[in-house]
Amino acid sequence: MPKTTPNTTTRNTSENRRVEFDIVAMSEPNTLLRVLEYFALIGVTPCNVKADANLDGTQIISIIVEGLSQQRAYILAGKINEIFTVNSASYVVKSIEVPSYNPSHSDMRMCA
């Protein structure tokens, strides 16, 4: 049986995905740095990072990354779960709408 390659169109490539990570961890000074280190190690810059401390000694960390494959998100969530100060890590993969190119659109006018 011949091998088939996945059909990569603008609809299903990782560039058209947004991954939202939700992490519950102990509110320790180095927890956020340890979590973000995993993103740095694979060369990914999150587009949004938010950390909120709770009165019970935990913190909620939300990280949004664009252009990350579902497989990479799965691996990252597993690595983050291994951090000893992390209680849980989960993620959701969402599609990003790709705007079509319209040269007559008013925002696309060229300035002379």
Domain ranges of the chain: 15-95
Whole-model pTM: value is 0.73
**Residue 6: which residues within 8 A CB-CB, separation 6 or more?**
12
Q: What is the mean pLDDT of residues 85-104?
A: 80
CATH 3.40.50.620 fits 15-95, yes or no: no
User: Can you point out the beta strands (E) in 1-112?
Assistant: 17-26, 48-53, 58-66, 86-95
Could you give the strand order of the β-sheet that contains 17-26, starting from the edge strand earlier in sequence?
48-53, 58-66, 17-26, 86-95
| Per-residue pLDDT tens digits for 40-71 | 999 999 999 999 999 999 999 999 999 999 99
Give the alpha-carbon dihedral of 73, 74, 76, 82, to 10 degrees: 160
Q: Are 26 and 35 in contact (CB under 8 A)?
A: no
